[in-house]
C-alpha cells in the first residue's frame, strides 16, 4: 500500500485479536480521488454503509481497517461505532470526516470494542510510515495464513506511476462486488492522476476478471469491499476516459488484482490445490460464467480435485445443473491436456495421465460446449478436512 508515492500506513495491536496486530491505517499525504465497490449481500455491514456514503463525494484520504470483528448485523450501535471510528481518524489527521473510509472483518453480530478502537487509532496515526504497507497487510488478516500484497509500475507519458494493493480473505470467499460479482477486503493505492469516473471504470475493469472470478466456498460475505485511492503524487498527466494511458494503468491495476486474487484462493481456508475452470464454446459469456461458477462451487468437484480423482462425471453433472440450456451431447471435457469426455460421453484415455493432470497445481478443467464463441473462467480450490476444522471451530 505504500509502494505508490505519498502513501503511509501503520498497524497496531488494538487488542481485538489478542497477541497480534489487528488495526491498519492507510493515509495519503493529500486528498485522493477514490472509488469503491461493495458486497451485493443484503446484510451489508455498518462500515460498508458508512464507506459507501463517504465515497459518494469521490474524495478520500484515509482507510481504517480492523480485523476480528465484522461490525455486521450490529444495528444502530454498529452504525454509531463505525461513524465514531472515522471521526477519530479524521480528528487525528485533521481532515474532513467524509474523507475517511472504514472496513471491518471478522465475526458477524458482535459490536466493535470501541474502548480498544479509541485507544488504537491515535497509536496508528502516530505510527504512520512510508514503509508501513507490509505491516498493514498483516494486520488485516483473519483466517489468512499469509499477508497479500502486490504492486506494479507503469510508464505514463514518461512518468512512472505505481499501483499498489493489499487484500485479505480466506473464507466466505465468493466475491460478488457490485455491480459485478466478491468476498474479501482489497485496497489499492496509486500515485496516478485520474478523474473519478475513469477510476470507477478502472476499478470495475480490474476487479471483474480477477476477484470476481474466484470462489472458495460460495459464501458471499457481508463486508466485501474493494477501495482504490489515487493521489496524483507521481505528477503524471491526468488520465481521463479511454485511451492508451487508461489501458496501461488498467492493465497494471488488473495485474495487481490478479496477483492478490490468486494469493487469496491459494490461501483459502484449508486449500491444498487450486484449478482454473475454463468454459468455452458458450453462446454468451454469462452462460459460460454461470457454468464455470457452478463447477467451481460443486462440493463433489472440489473433493475430486482434493483427491486427484479425474472424475469428469461430476464436472458434467455440475454443468448440467447450472441452469443454462445447451446440448449435453456436444460437450467435450479436458483435464489438463487429457481429453476425457467427448460428445457428452466417456472416451478412452490414459487413467494415470488424467490422475496426474488432476494432481497438477494449478490444475485446469476445460469444458467446451460447442454452442458458440463465448468463454469465461473461474479459479476454484479443493475442499479439504482442514476447511471443516477451521470453520467448525471458528467462533466458539
Name the residues annotated as catalytic: 183
CA distance between the termini of the chain: 33
Cβ proximity of 32 and 61 under 8 Å: yes
Nearest to 138 by CA among 322, 291, 12, 308: 12
Tell me how far, at minimum, the Cβ of 392 lies from its own copies, in Å: 3
C-beta closer to its own copies: residue 75 or 286: 75
Tell me how far, at minimum, the Cβ of 299 lies from its own copies, in Å: 4
H or E element, residue 387: helix 385-392
C-beta closer to its own copies: residue 317 or 360: 317
In the structure grid, which three cell numbers stand for residue 219, read together? 459464501
Contacts of 192 (CB under 8 A, 6+ apart): 156, 161, 163, 230, 232, 234, 236, 239, 249
In the structure grid, which three cell numbers stand for residue 296, read together? 467451481
Tell me how far, at minimum, the Cβ of 43 lies from its own copies, in Å: 3
C-beta closer to its own copies: residue 8 or 44: 44
Tell me how far, at minimum, the Cβ of 51 lies from its own copies, in Å: 17
* Angle subtended by helix axes 285-297 and 312-320, to nearest 10: 130
**Cα 136 from Cα 186, distance rounded (Å):** 12
C-beta closer to its own copies: residue 35 or 105: 105
Kindly compute the dihedral angle of the four CA atoms of residues 379, 385, 391, 396, in this order, to the nearest 10 degrees: -170
Nearest to 68 by CA among 135, 203, 202, 168: 168
**Cα 176 from Cα 181, distance rounded (Å):** 3
C-beta closer to its own copies: residue 122 or 362: 362
Tell me how far, at minimum, the Cβ of 40 lies from its own copies, in Å: 7
**Cα 226 from Cα 39, distance rounded (Å):** 9
C-beta closer to its own copies: residue 242 or 299: 299
Tell me how far, at minimum, the Cβ of 24 lies from its own copies, in Å: 22
The angle subtended at Cα 257 by Cα 255 and Cα 260, nearest 5°, is 110
Amino acid at each position: 500500500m505504500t509502494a505508490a508515492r505519498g502513501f503511509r500506513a501503520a498497524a497496531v495491536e488494538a487488542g481485538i485479536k489478542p497477541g497480534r496486530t489487528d488495526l491498519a491505517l492507510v493515509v495519503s499525504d493529500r486528498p485522493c480521488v477514490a472509488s469503491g465497490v461493495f458486497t451485493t449481500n443484503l446484510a451489508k455491514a455498518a462500515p460498508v454503509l458508512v464507506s459507501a456514503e463517504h465515497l459518494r463525494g469521490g474524495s478520500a484520504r484515509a482507510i481504517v481497517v480492523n480485523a476480528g470483528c465484522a461490525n455486521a448485523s450490529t444495528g444502530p450501535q454498529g452504525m454509531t461505532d463505525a461513524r465514531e471510528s472515522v471521526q477519530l481518524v479524521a480528528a487525528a489527521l485533521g481532515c474532513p470526516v467524509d474523507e475517511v473510509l472504514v472496513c471491518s472483518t471478522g465475526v458477524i453480530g458482535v459490536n466493535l470494542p470501541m474502548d480498544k478502537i479509541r485507544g488504537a487509532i491515535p497509536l496508528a496515526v502516530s505510527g504512520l510510515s512510508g514503509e508501513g504497507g507490509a505491516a498493514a497487510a498483516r494486520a488485516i488478516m483473519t483466517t489468512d495464513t499469509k499477508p497479500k500484497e502486490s504492486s506494479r509500475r507503469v510508464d505514463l507519458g514518461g512518468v512512472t506511476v505505481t499501483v499498489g494493493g493489499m487484500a485479505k480473505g480466506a473464507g466466505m470467499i465468493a466475491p460478488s462486488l457490485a455491480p459485478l460479482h466478491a468476498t474479501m477486503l482489497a485496497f489499492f493505492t496509486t500515485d496516478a492522476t485520474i478523474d473519478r469516473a475513469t477510476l470507477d471504470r478502472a476499478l470495475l475493469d480490474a476487479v471483474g476478471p480477477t476477484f470476481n472470478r474466484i470462489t472458495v466456498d460460495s459464501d458471499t460475505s457481508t463486508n466485501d469491499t474493494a477501495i482504490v485511492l489515487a493521489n496524483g503524487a507521481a505528477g503524471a498527466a491526468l488520465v481521463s476516459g479511454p485511451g492508451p494511458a487508461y489501458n496501461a494503468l488498467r492493465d497494471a491495476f488488473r495485474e495487481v488484482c490478479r496477483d492478490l486474487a490468486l494469493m487469496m484462493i491459494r490461501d483459502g481456508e484449508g486449500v491444498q490445490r487450486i484449478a482454473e475452470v475454463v468454459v468455452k464454446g458458450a453462446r454468451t459469456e454469462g452462460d459460460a460464467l454461470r457454468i464455470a461458477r457452478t463447477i467451481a462451487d460443486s462440493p463433489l468437484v472440489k473433493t475430486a480435485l482434493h483427491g486427484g480423482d479425474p472424475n469428469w462425471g461430476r464436472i458434467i453433472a455440475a454443468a448440467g445443473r447450472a441452469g443454462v440450456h445447451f446440448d449435453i451431447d456436444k460437450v467435450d471435457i479436458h483435464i489438463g491436456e487429457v481429453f476425457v469426455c467427448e460428445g457428452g460421453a466417456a472416451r478412452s484415455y490414459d487413467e494415470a495421465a488424467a490422475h496426474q493432470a488432476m494432481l497438477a497445481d494449478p490444475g485446469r478443467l476445460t469444458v467446451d460446449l460447442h454452442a458458440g464463441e463465448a468463454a469465461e473462467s473461474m479459479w476454484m480450490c479443493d475442499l479439504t478436512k482442514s476447511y471443516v476444522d477451521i470453520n467448525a471451530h471458528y467462533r466458539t
